[in-house]
Amino acid sequence: MKRKLIASIREKELQLAKLKVHIDKSEVCSDLYNKMLLEKAILKKQLDDLQNNSLVNRIKHLLPRQEKLICDYFRGR
């Protein structure tokens, strides 16, 4: 899965490099460039999520957080 994401990111980078030349020439190319840029960002986020997907992070999401109230900041004084 990780290799597929890396390969897809590289492919998007190549496509973006080719489209970058034609951004100013037409609006269609500009829209396509923006779409490809968003797709690349999504792929990068998925790759980051895969790398940070440890057991500790999973447990952190399951445990409820203790809410801090504004009065908690002034109790120590």
- Give the per-residue pLDDT at 9: 92
Contacts (Cβ under 8 Å, ≥6 apart) of 16: 33, 36, 37, 40
What are the sequence ranges of the domains in the chain? 2-73
The pLDDT tens digits for 7-23 are 999 999 999 999 898 88
Calculate the alpha carbon distances from 59 to 2, 5, 39, 47, 68 in Å.
23, 25, 29, 20, 20
- Answering whether pTM is above 0.75, one says no
- Separation between Cα atoms, residue 33 and residue 49, nearest integer Å: 24
13: closest CA among 43, 56, 49?
43
The pLDDT tens digits for 36-58 are 999 999 999 998 888 776 666 67
Contacts (Cβ under 8 Å, ≥6 apart) of 4: none
